[in-house]
Amino acid sequence: MTRTHCPYCSLQCGMVLEGRRALEVQPWPEFPVNEGALCRKGWTATGLRGHRERLTTPLVRDRATGELRATGWDEALDLVAGRLRELQQRYGADAVGVFGGGGLTNEKAYQLGKLARVALGTSQVDYNGRWCMSSAASAANRAFGVDRGLPFPLADVEHTDVLVLVGSNLAETMPPAARHLDRLRENGGHVVVVDPRRTPTADRADTFLQPVPGTDLALALGVLHLLDSAGAVDEQYVAARTTGWPAVQRAVSAWWPERVERVTGIPSAEVRTLATRLAAAERVMVLTARGAEQHAQGTDTVLAWIDVALTLGMPGRRYAGYGCLTGQGNGQGGREHGQKADQLPGYRMIDDPAARAHVARVWGVDPETLPGQGRSAYELLDALGTDSGPKALLVFGSNIVVSAPNASHVAERLGALDLLVVADLVMSETAAIADVVLPVTQWAEETGTMTNLEGRVVLRQQAVEPPAGVRSDLEVMAGLAARLGHDFATDPEEVFAELGRASAGGRADYSAITYDRIREEHGVFWAGPRLFEERFAHEDGRARFVAVEHRGPAEPVDPAYPVHLTTGRVLAQYQSGAQTRRVRALPDDGPFVEIHPMLADRIGAYDGRPVVVTTRRGELKAPARVVDTIRPDTVFVPFHWVGANRLTNDALDPSSRMPEFKVCAAAVTA
Mean model confidence pLDDT for the chain: 97
Cα–Cα nearest to 653, from 133, 36, 115, 259: 133
Bridge partners for 324 per DSSP: 288
What is the Cα–Cα distance from 276 to 229, expressed in whole angstroms? 11
DSSP structure class, residue 100: E
Bridge partners for 309 per DSSP: none
* Residue of 625 and 20 predicted with greater confidence: 625
What pLDDT digit, counting tens, does each position of 342-392 carry?
Answer: 999 999 999 999 999 999 999 999 999 999 999 999 999 999 999 999 999
> What torsion, rounded to 10 degrees, do the Cα atoms 566, 571, 577, 583 define?
-160
What pLDDT digit, counting tens, does each position of 202-248 carry?
Answer: 999 999 999 999 999 999 999 999 999 999 999 999 999 999 999 99
Long-range own/partner contacts, residues 580-586 (CB < 8 A, 24 or more apart): 580/8, 580/41, 580/640, 581/640, 581/641, 582/47, 582/48, 582/51, 582/53, 582/426, 583/41, 583/44, 583/47, 583/48, 584/47, 585/40, 585/44, 585/47, 586/40, 586/41, 586/44, 586/47
Cα–Cα nearest to 265, from 202, 230, 222: 222
Tell whether the model's pLDDT for residue 63 goes beyond 90. no
Q: Other C-beta atoms within 10 Å of 254: how many?
A: 10
| Domains annotated on the chain, with CATH | 2-48 (2.20.25), 59-132+336-513 (3.40.50.740), 134-325 (3.40.228.10), 563-669 (2.40.40.20)
SS3 (DSSP) at 595: strand
What is the Cα–Cα distance from 142 to 527, expressed in whole angstroms? 18
Tell whether the model's pLDDT for residue 120 goes beyond 80. yes
8 A C-beta contact, residue 622 and residue 637? yes
Cα–Cα nearest to 220, from 266, 178, 188: 266
What is the Cα–Cα distance from 357 to 482, expressed in whole angstroms? 24
8 A C-beta contact, residue 287 and residue 151? no
Tell whether the model's pLDDT for residue 21 goes beyond 80. no
Task: Please tell me the total number of residues recorded for the chain in this structure.
Answer: 670
Q: What is the mean pLDDT of residues 538-547?
A: 98
User: Is the model's pTM score more than 0.95?
Assistant: yes
Tell whether the model's pLDDT for residue 608 goes beyond 90. yes
What pLDDT digit, counting tens, does each position of 548-557 carry?
Answer: 999 999 999 9
What pLDDT digit, counting tens, does each position of 292-337 carry?
Answer: 999 999 999 999 999 999 999 999 999 999 999 998 999 999 999 9
What pLDDT digit, counting tens, does each position of 427-438 carry?
Answer: 999 999 999 999
Cα–Cα nearest to 157, from 51, 14, 283, 326: 283
In this prediction, residue 20 carries a pLDDT of 78
What is the Cα–Cα distance from 613 to 668, expressed in whole angstroms? 5
Q: What is the mean pLDDT of residues 40-67?
A: 94
What pLDDT digit, counting tens, does each position of 527-536 carry?
Answer: 999 999 999 9
8 A C-beta contact, residue 164 and residue 292? no
Sign of CA dihedral 157, 161, 167, 170: positive
Pairing, β 284-288 against β 321-324: parallel
